[in-house]
Amino acid sequence: MKALAHVSDIIIPILIFFIVGYGAVSGVKVYESFLKGAKDGLKIVVDIVPTLIGLLVAVGMLRASGFFDMLGRVLGPVTEAAGLPAQLIPLLIVKLFSSSAATGLVLDIFKTAGPDSYAGLVTSILMSCTETVFYTMSVYFLAAKVTKTRFTLTGALLATLAGTVASVVLAARMG
C-alpha cells in the first residue's frame, strides 16, 4: 500500500516533465504556450464570474427566504410516497444550480437526520448521481460561446431524474 502512495506522489511531476519534454523535442515554445494558455484561462474566468455570482446570490436568496422549506412542505407528501424524503427537495433544486450551496444543505440534512439515516444515504448517493445542470450550462456554454443548446436542458434534467431515482433505489436496498 505504501508503494502505491509513493507512486501517486510522483505521477504528476513525471507527467509535467513528460509534457514539457515532449513539447521541447517537438519544437514547441513551451513557456510561451503556457503563458498564452494562462492568459486565455484568465479571460474565461472574467467572463464566467458574473454568471457564477448571479447563481450564488439567487440560490442564497431563495434559501434565506424560506422558499425551499415551503416547497418541501408542499411537495413532500408526493415525494415521500415515492421514497424521497421531503427534506431533500431543496437539495435537489439547489444542486441544479450550485454544488457548493448544495453541500451546505447536505450538512444540514446530516445534522438533523444523521448521515446513516435513510435521508442521509439518499443525500450521499444523490450528490454523486446528479449534476449542477444550470451552472454547467450557463458557465461552460458561455465560455465556449455555444448558442444552440438544442436538447441539452431536457437531457440534463432527465439524467438528473435518473440519478434521483437511482439514489432512492440504492438507498432503499442499503437501508
How do residues 44-71 score in pLDDT, each as one tens digit?
A: 888 878 877 887 788 778 878 989 889 8
How do residues 127-166 score in pLDDT, each as one tens digit?
A: 998 888 887 887 778 778 888 888 888 999 999 999 999 9
| 38 located within any domain | no
| 39 located within any domain | no
| 16 located within any domain | no
| 161 located within any domain | yes
What is the number of domains present in the chain?
1
* Separation of alpha carbons 84 and 109, rounded Å: 13
| 152 located within any domain | yes
* Separation of alpha carbons 93 and 11, rounded Å: 38
Domain that holds residue 75: 44-174
**What spatial distance separates the first Cα and last Cα of the chain, rounded to whole Å?**
31
Max Cα distance, the chain (Å): 65
| 142 located within any domain | yes
The reported pTM is: 0.67
Higher pLDDT, 109 or 141: 109
| 17 located within any domain | no
Quick one: CA torsion of 131, 132, 136, 138, rounded to 10 degrees? Answer: 150
